Structure 1
Amino acid sequence: MKNVVIAVITCRRPEWLGRLLDGLLALKCDEDINPRILVVDNDASESSKDVVISRQQDGAIPVSYDVEKQQGIVFARNRCVELFHQMNGDYLVFIDDDEWPQQPDWLNRLVSAAGEFNVDVVTSHVISVGEPGTPEWAVDLIYGKNPYTHGQFIDVFYTNNLLLSRRMTEALTPCFDARFAMTGASDYHFALRAKQAGYQCVYIDAPVVEEFPASRASVKWFCRRGFRSGIGYTRSHVFEESYKTALLRCVALSGVRVLRGLAKLITGVVTNNKTTRVDGLFRLCSAAGTIAGLFGIQHEEYKVIHGK
């Protein structure tokens, strides 16, 4: 029997959390999988508690609720890992509170892939759908075209659709670095550490669906996201590599991002394609953030909560 803990971090998005919990409670799990849902609320006022309680008797999958009062997604993620260990879980699965599984066998696919490919990390993609009123260009841009194929081994993964083995989380605890508490990129940094420690990640076809909020559908938001992602990339490598290696890596990547960004921007202007134009701006801002990170500049990602 495989004990699997599905971890959800939430903060003042009760409506979307309820939708996710309904989707998780509808999962069809194989007989050798023993699932449990864990919700960690990163709001000290416990604004999501009633949502969880209302669903604790709704299905065969147990639902637990916990609060991480220290503000910052890093602390909530590490609380999930800590509770997962206390629950004697074999696999920890992360999914965001603005998502839901596309298919009821989503969990089966992740767990079976860990055994089939003999890996400690399994991930899949996110399909974005727009909240009512969200322009298509923003929905098309947020994740872009999926570049991976089923069974492909990859180096980078994020916590929006992710399975981790107990062996790995115990070895790398604390998994998420407090220096990324409010800035984002703690999952990229964790993936870098995992790769350096020799753990492998496989991509499979087990997507989740995400509702992209209309409040994020602005050129300004995408530019900020690009700048923040560039900073997060640089800080991750500065923390884990020699400064010289990180410097050369980041300067080279910044140059590539500038060239690609200009190409996208010019193409978008010529073709009057807003998705391509904003993609170009995103890459240029990412290049700027990659250099800014070398000077210790940070950008707070989680000041504003989008969604409901």
Structure 2
Amino acid sequence: MEKVTIAIITCKRPIWLARLLDALQEQVFSENLTLSILVVDNACDKETKDIVDKRRSGRIPIHYDVEEQAGIVYARNKCVSITTSMNSDYLIFIDDDEWPKEKTWASDLVLSAKKYDADIVTSHVISVDEAGKQNWATEILYPAPDQSEGQELSVFYTNNLLLCKHVMTKMSPCFDERFAMTGASDYHFALKCTHAGFRCIYTDAPVVEEMPSSRKNIKWFCRRGFRSGIGFTRSHIFEESLLKAVLKSSILSIVRVIRGVLLIVKALFLRSKGTLVDGLFRVCSGVGTFMGLFGVKHEEYKKIHGK
């Protein structure tokens, strides 16, 4: 019997958390798997606890814990430490604004880890708006995947991710506190895992994410691009030689800005808002990639989007 812990980090999003917990209770899995759900509340929110308590009677047990120190890094590390103390064979991360597309999602990730002898398994995210539809904003945030089944990846994120037990043990603490409020701690973790020799593969086990209307604007995408660029640079500075990190970040910064400018020009001819925002997103990402060389930070997680 193998134990699987599905970890959710939440921060004042009770409605979305309830939707996810209800969806997870519908997961189908074989008799040789034991599933449990772990909710780590990073806001000590009474409404969040009430949501969990009302769903404890489901067939998949739910564990609730609190991480009082604000910052997604601390909550992620708590998920890892609790999962390790539970002696689980696998940890699966899913965000509280998501839900599995298929009822076999969790077991599909586990089966892929075994099939490909992988240390880490990931899949893509399908972004939709509040009406459940896709638009220019959702397509920029999560374009259609171009990975193939079983493909080895060097970059992955915790919005749809399985970690095997030995990865958690060797990499602990998995997530770096220097990224507590800035984001990109999962990109940095991926970089560390790659350097440690762990294999991550892609499998077709998507989750769906609701993109709130508060993010459907140019300002949010520009900030997101700027933050992701900074996160890239900081990650490589922390894990590689300074010369290598500076060269890599400088070149990528130029490439991102050029690609962004070309998209902006294209958007003016096509009169396409989506293409324009995508171009601005890439330009801001390039600027952020360069600014990260000077220690600039952007604390994205100070504002909570969602419900």
TM (norm. structure 2) is 0.98
Q: Name 1:77's counterpart in structure 2.
A: 76
3-state SS, counterpart of residue 127 of structure 2: strand
Q: Name 1:199's counterpart in structure 2.
A: 198
Q: Name 1:267's counterpart in structure 2.
A: 266
Find out whether 1:60 has 2:59 as its counterpart: yes
Q: Name 2:42's counterpart in structure 1.
A: 42
CA distance in 1, matches of 2:115, 2:108: 10
Relative to structure 2, which stretch is displaced further, 139-148 or 25-34? Answer: 139-148
CA distance in 2, matches of 1:221, 1:135: 18
CA distance in 2, matches of 1:176, 1:158: 12
Deviation at 1:159, TM superposition (A): 0.3
Aligned residue runs from structure 1 range 226-305, under 5 A:
226-305=225-304
Deviation at 1:46, TM superposition (A): 4.0
Sequence identity, in percent? 56
Q: Deviations over 1:241-270 (max 9, x none)?
A: 111110000001011111111111111111
Q: Which amino acid aligns with 1:303?
A: K
CA distance in 1, matches of 2:78, 2:174: 10
Q: Which amino acid aligns with 1:91?
A: Y
Q: Name 2:25's counterpart in structure 1.
A: 25
- Asked if the contact 2:127/2:134 (under 8 Å) is kept, the reply is no
Q: Name 1:104's counterpart in structure 2.
A: 103
TM (norm. structure 1) is 0.98
Q: Which amino acid aligns with 2:188?
A: H
CA distance in 2, matches of 1:140, 1:160: 17
Deviation at 1:134, TM superposition (A): 8.6
CA RMSD of superposed structures (Å):
1.2
CA distance in 2, matches of 1:133, 1:166: 35
Aligned residue runs from structure 1 range 202-221, under 5 A:
202-221=201-220
Q: Which amino acid aligns with 2:111?
A: S
CA distance in 1, matches of 2:242, 2:139: 36
Q: How many residues align structurally?
A: 307
Deviation at 1:45, TM superposition (A): 3.7
Task: Call closer, same or farther: CA 1:89–1:64 in 2, change over 3 Å.
Answer: same
- Asked if the contact 1:134/1:213 (under 8 Å) is kept, the reply is no
- Asked if the contact 2:228/2:288 (under 8 Å) is kept, the reply is yes
Q: Name 1:119's counterpart in structure 2.
A: 118
Deviation at 1:147, TM superposition (A): 1.6
Q: Which amino acid aligns with 2:179?
A: F
Q: Deviations over 1:235-294 (max 9, x none)?
A: 000000111110000001011111111111111111111111111100100000001100
- Asked if the contact 2:9/2:75 (under 8 Å) is kept, the reply is yes
Relative to structure 2, which stretch is displaced further, 38-47 or 17-26? Answer: 38-47
CA distance in 2, matches of 1:191, 1:38: 22
- Asked if the contact 2:9/2:96 (under 8 Å) is kept, the reply is yes
Q: Name 1:167's counterpart in structure 2.
A: 166
Q: Which amino acid aligns with 1:74?
A: V
CA distance in 2, matches of 1:273, 1:133: 22
Q: Which amino acid aligns with 2:285?
A: S
* Structure 2: runs of 5+ lacking an equivalent: none
- Asked if the contact 1:134/1:214 (under 8 Å) is kept, the reply is no
Q: Deviations over 1:35-70 (max 9, x none)?
A: 00000000034441000000000x211100000000
Q: Name 1:176's counterpart in structure 2.
A: 175
Q: Name 2:187's counterpart in structure 1.
A: 188
3-state SS, counterpart of residue 163 of structure 1: strand
3-state SS, counterpart of residue 301 of structure 2: coil
Q: Which amino acid aligns with 1:13?
A: R
* Structure 1: runs of 5+ lacking an equivalent: none
CA distance in 2, matches of 1:237, 1:44: 33
Runs of 4+ in 1 over 4 A off after TM superposition: none
- Asked if the contact 1:226/1:282 (under 8 Å) is kept, the reply is yes
